[in-house]
């Protein structure tokens, strides 16, 4: 029984504790990077492709989709951080991490090796930050259900 009480105390402490400064920094930095990527996609989509690639209507359309995706993620990160909504922020950080890790897969597939380390680190930092906001480890179902 004392073991269960100790676990419940840890969960209560994690819920009531303020958001750590390093998690706030990661969330703000991530929101800034996402917003910057959105602005670049709208203003200068040539930066999204190789120098020899043609910029056509399709590139502009997909740049718009990238911009709307990045802006939505950035706005939600800032809003949830401002509200101190730890659980929702944790879930949003997992979503951003998943997007980044899938971007790493695309970068590997398209052989953009110089981008892989930065995007991978960005995604992993978001996963670590999300885990620190929860009293449960990411690999347990309780992280996702409670």
pLDDT digits (tens, 9 = 90+) for 95-128: 999 999 999 999 999 888 999 999 999 999 999 9
Q: What is the structure's pLDDT at 8?
A: 55
Per-residue confidence (pLDDT) for residue 146, from 0 to 100: 67
Q: Which residues of 119-129 are buried (b: 16+ CB within 10 A; e: fewer)?
A: bbebbebbbeb
pLDDT at residue 55 in the model: 82
pLDDT at residue 10, as a whole number: 58
pLDDT given for residue 6 in this prediction: 62
If you average pLDDT over every residue of the chain, what do you get? 87
Both structure tokens of 105: 């897969």
Contact 122, 100 (CB under 8 A): yes
The residue behind tokens 């989709």 is 65
What is the pLDDT averaged over residues 123-145?
A: 81
pLDDT at res. 47: 81
Q: Quote the pLDDT of residue 86.
A: 93
> What is the rounded CA–CA span in Å between residue 15 and residue 79?
19
User: For residue 49, what pLDDT is reported?
Assistant: 75
Q: Mean per-residue pLDDT for 20-32?
A: 95
Q: Mean pLDDT, to the nearest integer, of 67-79?
A: 97
**Domain residue spans of the chain:** 20-145
């Amino acid at each position: 029984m004392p073991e269960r009480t100790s676990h419940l105390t840890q969960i209560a402490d994690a819920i009531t504790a303020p958001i750590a400064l390093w998690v706030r920094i990661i969330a703000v930095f991530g929101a800034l990077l996402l917003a910057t990527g959105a602005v670049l996609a709208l203003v200068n989509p040539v930066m999204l492709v190789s120098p020899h690639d043609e910029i056509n209507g399709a590139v502009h359309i997909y740049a718009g989709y990238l911009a709307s995706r990045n802006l939505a993620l950035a706005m939600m990160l800032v809003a949830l951080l401002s509200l101190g909504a730890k659980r929702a922020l944790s879930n949003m950080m997992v979503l951003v991490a998943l997007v980044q890790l899938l971007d790493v897969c695309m970068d590997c597939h398209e052989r953009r090796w110089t981008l892989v380390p930065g995007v991978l680190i960005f995604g992993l930092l978001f996963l670590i930050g999300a885990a620190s906001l929860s009293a449960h480890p990411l690999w347990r179902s309780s992280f996702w259900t409670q």
